[in-house]
Amino acid sequence: MKILAVDTTTSSCSVAIIEKESLLAEVTLIRDQTHSKHLMGMIKKANELSGLLISDLDGFAITRGPGSFTGLRIGLSTIKGLAAASGKPMVGVSSLEVLAIQSYVSSFLICPLIDARRGEVYYSNYRFKNGRLFQMIAEKAATPKEVLTGIHEPCIFVGNGATLYQETIRFKLGELAHFAPAAQNIIRAATVAFLSLSRFQCGDIDDDRSLAPCYLRKSDAEINLAQKRQNYG
């Protein structure tokens, strides 16, 4: 099965194409520009590198969040457009689960953190059991302090939030805190594709309605508007 996968949930933008268990092409870019400026060009480049056309693909995978509100909209609208135009199925996966599975297999708790701004992170907890990854708590938005309050065992932190709040984590947890290698803090589209593969194989696909962004909280624009209304009565 040939799958094109995209991630646009953070400042990095990644596109990959896999066939079964093999990675055919992957392009990842980190820029301080909106992903809409380069996403379609990256998809075109991945197609060129893999030697495949959109019509050759069997499906599309996309991170549904949590993450950047603008980035999520760009990625989801692009994949939905490609899926509709080609008539191929699509699958949405959690950006936190992608980060967790990119962490090395360990008996430790795994806590992926994505910067949510305003002093908060998006997070969940995962654990490997018999080589399989299991989610331990629901995805949430919280302050780093709130995240760490519930951790009392060795834990691996991964993601741009782990990098941003590393000093805070080390101060709070000491030797219980472990961090994934820096390269694993960036969401790879290849991981998105491989994570989606089992769902494609069992027919567990999304439609236009079910494939919705996972925001977890209101956008900064909505929060700012609510604050202005409160200030001016």
Q: Is there a single domain that holds both residue 195 and residue 153?
A: no
Query: What rounded mean pLDDT belongs to the chain?
Result: 93
Q: Which residue range forms the structural domain that includes residue 153?
A: 96-185
> Where does the pLDDT of residue 231 fall: very low under 50, low under 70, confident under 90, or very high at 90 and above?
low
Q: Is 102 exposed, middle or buried (0-12, 13-18, 19+ CB in 10 A)?
A: buried
Q: Is the pLDDT of residue 221 over 70?
A: no
Q: Is there a single domain that holds both residue 6 and residue 89?
A: yes
Domain boundary among 185, 204, 228: 185
Give the residue-averaged pLDDT of 203-220: 85
Give the residue-averaged pLDDT of 203-222: 81
Q: Is the pLDDT of residue 225 over 90?
A: no
Q: Is the pLDDT of residue 105 over 90?
A: no
Q: Which residues contact 205 (CB under 8 A, 6 or more apart)?
A: 59, 89, 90, 91, 199
Q: Is there a single domain that holds both residue 119 and residue 48?
A: no
pLDDT value of position 230:
53
Using an 8 Å Cβ cutoff, are 142 and 120 in contact?
yes
> Would you say residue 223 lies in a domain?
no
pLDDT value of position 223:
45
The letter for the amino acid at 160 is: N
> Would you say residue 148 lies in a domain?
yes
> Does this model's pTM top 0.85?
yes
**Cis preceding-peptide flag for 213 (omega within 30 of 0):** no
Would you say how long the chain is, in residues? Answer: 233
Q: Is there a single domain that holds both residue 38 and residue 118?
A: no
Q: Is there a single domain that holds both residue 106 and residue 167?
A: yes
Q: Is there a single domain that holds both residue 107 and residue 164?
A: yes
pLDDT value of position 77:
96
CATH number at residue 145: 3.30.420.40
> Would you say residue 224 lies in a domain?
no
Number of CB atoms found within 10 A of residue 106's CB: 14
pLDDT in tens, 129-159: 998 999 999 999 999 999 999 899 999 999 9
> Would you say residue 84 lies in a domain?
yes
Per the listing, tokens 């019509």 go with 55
What tokens were used for 219? 């956008």
- Residues 165 and 142: their CA atoms lie apart, in Å, by 13
Q: How many domains are contained in the chain?
A: 2
- Residues 137 and 125: their CA atoms lie apart, in Å, by 6
Q: Is the pLDDT of residue 6 over 60?
A: yes
pLDDT in tens, 9-55: 999 999 999 999 999 999 999 987 899 999 999 999 999 999 999 99
Using an 8 Å Cβ cutoff, are 110 and 153 in contact?
no
pLDDT value of position 177:
98
Q: Is the pLDDT of residue 219 over 70?
A: no
Per the listing, tokens 């694993």 go with 184
β-pair partners for 92: 62
Q: Is there a single domain that holds both residue 87 and residue 129?
A: no
Give the residue-averaged pLDDT of 108-113: 98
β-pair partners for 59: 3
Helix (H) or strand (E) holding 211: none
Q: Is the pLDDT of residue 228 over 70?
A: no
Q: Is there a single domain that holds both residue 84 and residue 107?
A: no
Q: Is there a single domain that holds both residue 110 and residue 71?
A: no
> Would you say residue 105 lies in a domain?
yes
CA distances from 135 to 1, 97, 117, 216 (A): 26, 8, 24, 17
pLDDT in tens, 52-80: 999 999 999 999 999 999 999 999 999 99
- DSSP letter (8 states) at residue 10: S
Q: Is there a single domain that holds both residue 14 and residue 89?
A: yes
> Would you say residue 231 lies in a domain?
no
Q: Is there a single domain that holds both residue 56 and residue 107?
A: no
Using an 8 Å Cβ cutoff, are 5 and 15 in contact?
yes
Using an 8 Å Cβ cutoff, are 30 and 14 in contact?
no
Using an 8 Å Cβ cutoff, are 15 and 24 in contact?
no
